[in-house]
Structure 1
Amino acid sequence: MAAASHVRALPRQRARPVAAGGQVHRSRAPRPRPRDQELECWGLGDFLVTIGGFQTKFLAPFLRIKIAKELDVQGHGIPVTVANTTYMGMNALHAAGALGRLPVYRYLVEEVKMDIHKPDTLIDFTPVEHALKHGRLPAVKYLLDHGANLHLQRGDSTLLHSAATRGQSEMPNKDGGLFGIIDVALHKPSVSCVKLLIQGGANVSGDNPLAKAAEKGLTEAIKCLLEAGADPNVVDRFGRLPIELAVEYGTREDVAILFPFTSPISTVANWSVDGIISHVQMEIKQLEDDNFVEKRISDLKQQAAEAFKKQDYLNASVFYTQALKMDNFDAKLLSNRSLCWLRMGDGERSYEDATECKKLQPKWAKAYYRQGAAQILMEDYDDAYHSLLRALELDPESQEIAELLLETIEVV
């Protein structure tokens, strides 16, 4: 009886129907489905019905096919209708990222011949970026194998080396901070996608993906990025190194992996894995002391102001960064550091700080003013005009905003 307890009972099988003459009825092979029924099976029917404004989950399959056919008002057939139909700026190939089903991609790319390089008009994502956002590794690989270009030119830069996508929410938008295509994979997170992108030639130097991997505790991604040449000595916008983020959010293994590649930190007396862990833990504990934090930030602000008066913008930015490390919700610190970057001619960093400042204080005119000034430095005059116009709406009495707005209008 003891041995029998390890044997699983086989599931019962339904008996086949037997005819009067003792013949066993054989089940008929399924009939091939027409193309429109394949469309329904893959979910593209749902995409078309969504465009029609219906709630697809409450509709029977035959009704979804019927509505999809009705959308083909020109009589060109469902494949052509799918190729030419958009919803909220996305076509079927963009929407396929949510499904991640390879038959969908094969049909759209190989039969319908849809453009795999074309970005949507909502968030400026290409099909491969949509697949990345949803962590669809097979779909990403399929698109790369069929010519998806990670080095696709966008204006003066490429997808991998510039602000290919903007934002920090799950659905990035054009008003957020800048980040590259690896960040899309890290945001999911999808380590497999990160590896695939690096193999495809993705740039690991821009936008500090190593810091993001450390902050998320993605051990395998950290290894992969280091092997690909990512620099562990680049701080994030709050002045934190990847190894410091690994102490706070990751594991000891993450710290040990980063340690041999990280340059010694001057404030860490015992430069070892244990030493850096103790140092960061002490800093975290100090942040719990409100009196210590308040005095430390006050001192750093004073040092930054003195450096700024001497036109030592680099050191001023360092002091502001140290203060932000203790309080990264201080909009004035971000605004001041944005001005430091501006004076040093770094438009992108100035814009990033101004954008973060705007998120913290969405009705503060100076945040929009800083953003507009950074956009002018980057020669993005159209967006600068809108930023400065909003700044003037919030502070109609500001002479400096009005003057910069007039200068921008002359250029536009």
Structure 2
Amino acid sequence: MASHSEQCGVDRLLFAAYCGELHLFKKVAVKLDWGEGLAKTVADIKDSNGQGALHHAAAGGRTQVCKCLLKELKLDVDVKDGRGATPFFHAILGGHIATANYLLKNGADPATPNVVLHHIFTPLMLAILAQSFECTKLLLKEGAGPNIGSFGITPLGIAASEGETEMIKCLLKGGADPNIPNFYGLKPIEVSALNGNYEDVMILFPKTSPIQAISHWSPAGIIRHMHSEEARQKRNLQLKEKFMELKAKGEDAFKRKEYLMAIRWYTEAMNADPLGATLLSNRSLCWARLKEGERALSDATACIMLRPDWPKAYYREGAAWMLLKEFGRAADAFSNGLDLDPENRELQKAFSGSSWVGLMLLRFNSDAVEASINSLEI
């Protein structure tokens, strides 16, 4: 285990890579040399997500740092982080076209654009979400599949949802199929019409097969239909049905301990019910089971904002603080929950475990923290 001073050095090195501070990066790397040479030392340095210096440099768009790592230290251009993402993926995610191009020219695998991470997004989909037209074009050029997606999410569907007109044109030119519906059964042209993006409807219209439910098949007719009371009521009914379906799928995935999949379903269900505190509570627990303390806390905090009178929301907050080893704050959260429900046994047990003696035991026993998190239920 790295000493405190070594850990500080590791953090500084990764920060320097991300910020492009090449002089500082080299200086810290020399100090951290663990006796096996700089290349071996730098290659072994990773953060809690398995991301090394090259991932951080690519994420920050720091081409010069990438050059140093590849040319001088001979690092692997396709090294994967803890979730399977390469430096090229991080460059694309950040919209850094120059860095992405540099990595490609230096051997980055051009098949990478079709990888699906977190069971959800491909680099092409993320480039569209990041509004990076240049990265979108580059990925399509390098073989990214314009129709590759999951759970009813496709690159063209995202572009339609975001109103990205130029990207819609680019994707159609690259072979995107406008007849693939999203999870709610809506084709991209219907999404564009619902959002009032008339230009996008005009672009998609010639390539979209007629939809039986729309009696007058024309750009204006599609928009009128999507904003009709009949269509609105039908969408609301479908949303309620989908919400229950998605929530149930999330709970089933949780029971199977497929926490990333559960997060995916809960997140999708939130599209049907954006103010669903229960979904945030469940997703916070999933993040906690994955040891993602910051994300667990973020969802718990949002849950408290929506339902400040719900004891379980504070229970989730306390669990997140425990994971982050902020035990004093965990005790405060559990105490706030008990103020609302003094007889709640789960909160009583959690607060008791966050007593001074309990905190000391947890502070030096990460297994105890993990066991405590794993005992929580949705």
Deviation at 1:269, TM superposition (A): 1.5
Please name the residue that 2:301 is paired with: none
Match of residue 117, structure 2, among 158, 165, 186: 165
Please name the residue that 1:240 is paired with: 186
C-alpha change, 1:75 and 1:178, in structure 2 (3 Å) is closer
2:211 is paired with a residue whose SS is: coil
Corresponding letter in the other structure for 1:190 = S
> Size of the alignment, in residue pairs?
263
C-alpha change, 1:110 and 1:245, in structure 2 (3 Å) is same
Corresponding letter in the other structure for 2:67 = R
- Please tell me whether Structure 1 or Structure 2 has the larger radius of gyration of its CA atoms: 1
Q: Distance in 2 between matches of 1:71 and 1:337?
A: 47
Matched, 1:182 2:124: yes
Q: Distance in 2 between matches of 1:188 and 1:357?
A: 23
Please name the residue that 1:174 is paired with: none
Deviation at 1:363, TM superposition (A): 6.4
Gaps of 5+ in 2: 1-6, 252-260, 271-275, 287-372
C-alpha change, 1:94 and 1:62, in structure 2 (3 Å) is closer
The aligned runs of 1:339-378 (5 Å cut-off) are 353=265, 356-357=268-269, 361=279
1:179 is paired with a residue whose SS is: coil
C-alpha change, 1:260 and 1:73, in structure 2 (3 Å) is same
Q: Distance in 1 between matches of 2:263 and 2:174?
A: 28
Q: Distance in 1 between matches of 2:125 and 2:195?
A: 18
The aligned runs of 1:50-89 (5 Å cut-off) are 51-52=11-12, 67-74=28-35, 76-77=37-38, 80-88=40-48, 89=50
RMSD value, Cα? 4.1
C-alpha change, 1:189 and 1:48, in structure 2 (3 Å) is farther
Task: Give a deviation string over 1:1-59, Cα, whole Å, max 9, x none.
Answer: xxxxxxxxxxxxxxxxxxxxxxxxxxxxxxxxxxxxxxxxxxxxxx98462599989xx
TM-score scaled by length of structure 2 = 0.58
1:255 is paired with a residue whose SS is: helix
Query: Is the CA contact 1:216–1:249 (under 8 Å) kept in the aligned structure 2?
Result: no
Corresponding letter in the other structure for 1:102 = T
Match of residue 230, structure 1, among 172, 176, 179: 176
Please name the residue that 1:375 is paired with: none
Deviation at 1:124, TM superposition (A): 2.5
Deviation at 1:138, TM superposition (A): 0.8
TM-score scaled by length of structure 1 = 0.54
* Matched-pair identity in %: 33
Matched, 1:334 2:294: no
Q: Distance in 1 between matches of 2:264 and 2:60?
A: 33
The aligned runs of 1:2-401 (5 Å cut-off) are 49=9, 51-52=11-12, 67-74=28-35, 76-77=37-38, 80-88=40-48, 89-121=50-82, 123-151=83-111, 160=114, 164-166=116-118, 177-207=119-149, 208-249=154-195, 251-282=197-228, 287=232, 297=237, 323-324=238-239, 327=240, 331-335=243-247, 353=265, 356-357=268-269, 361=279, 394=377
C-alpha change, 1:337 and 1:51, in structure 2 (3 Å) is closer
More helix by share: 2
Query: Is the CA contact 2:128–2:159 (under 8 Å) kept in the aligned structure 1?
Result: yes
Task: Give a deviation string over 1:323-364, Cα, whole Å, max 9, x none.
Answer: 12xx48x6313256899xxxxxxxxx9996477459963667
Corresponding letter in the other structure for 1:331 = F
Task: Give a deviation string over 1:360-387, Cα, whole Å, max 9, x none.
Answer: 636679xx9xxxxxxxxxxxxxxxxxxx
Deviation at 1:264, TM superposition (A): 0.7
Deviation at 1:248, TM superposition (A): 3.1
Q: Distance in 1 between matches of 2:58 and 2:36?
A: 27
Query: Is the CA contact 1:217–1:250 (under 8 Å) kept in the aligned structure 2?
Result: no
